Amino acid sequence: VSGPPGFKLDRAIELVLKETGVPELYSHQKAACDAVLRDKKSVVIATPTASGKSLGYVVPLLTRLSERRTSRAMLLFPLKALANDQLEKLRRFTETAGRLADSGAFDDDKNASLLRRLRAIASVSAAVCDGDTSSSARAAIKSEKTQIVLTNPDALHHFVLPGFVTKKFTKTFFNNLEFVVVDEAHAHTGVE
């Protein structure tokens, strides 16, 4: 499926996608990735259920956050179950990158930069912050080690935003917040 002219997927991301059963991105996924990564635009993806919308933001997230360790992302879901499902998908990608990096297939000089990219993708950290998150897990998220925070509107208002005011969620997180993803935007109320 074709994508925008000049669209080129990061080689390490491409390997991870293939290894996880995604042989190629669809045109809407390529267009979203290109708009975010190359053109630095905000994107809304409106396609039917199970059309792969999440890859339209997961690929740019993993690409950018693995390139820039200080970058942060917040993913907002209307339901805790959706956040947990997406966390498992993100972990599947990072774990696959780690397995590929540890496989020995890229240990020669020719693949040194690809191996570094795979290791960087494997090191992207993500965690759910919601009402069921323990205080110790919340403290770990707030310690600035978590790059991707998956949450819901309730937790955003009860834990994340008050944490900014009380400095429990440091300004560093918000200063480096590069991505805000609102999944299932039509399900959120009060958003205009």
Please determine, for residue 192, whether its predicted confidence score (pLDDT) is greater than 60.
Answer: no
Mean pLDDT computed over 90-109: 96
Mean pLDDT computed over 122-132: 91
Mean pLDDT computed over 61-77: 93
Give the pLDDT score at 124: 96
Give the pLDDT score at 163: 66
Percent of the chain scoring above 70 in pLDDT: 89
Q: What is the spatial distance between Cα 62 and Cα 108, in angstroms, rounded to a whole number?
A: 24
Give the pLDDT score at 188: 61
Q: Could you give the strand order of the β-sheet that contains 177-182, starting from the edge strand earlier in sequence? A: 126-128, 148-151, 72-76, 177-182
Q: Which amino acid is at 148?
A: I
- pLDDT band for 45, please (50, 70, 90 cuts): confident
Phi-psi region of 171 (alpha: psi -120 to 50; beta: other; left: phi over 0): alpha
Q: What is the spatial distance between Cα 128 and Cα 83, in angstroms, rounded to a whole number?
A: 7
Beta carbons of 149 and 127 less than 8 angstroms apart: yes
Q: What is the spatial distance between Cα 182 and Cα 86, in angstroms, rounded to a whole number?
A: 12
Residue among 123, 163, 115 nearest 145 (CA): 123
Q: What is the spatial distance between Cα 8 and Cα 159, in angstroms, rounded to a whole number?
A: 38
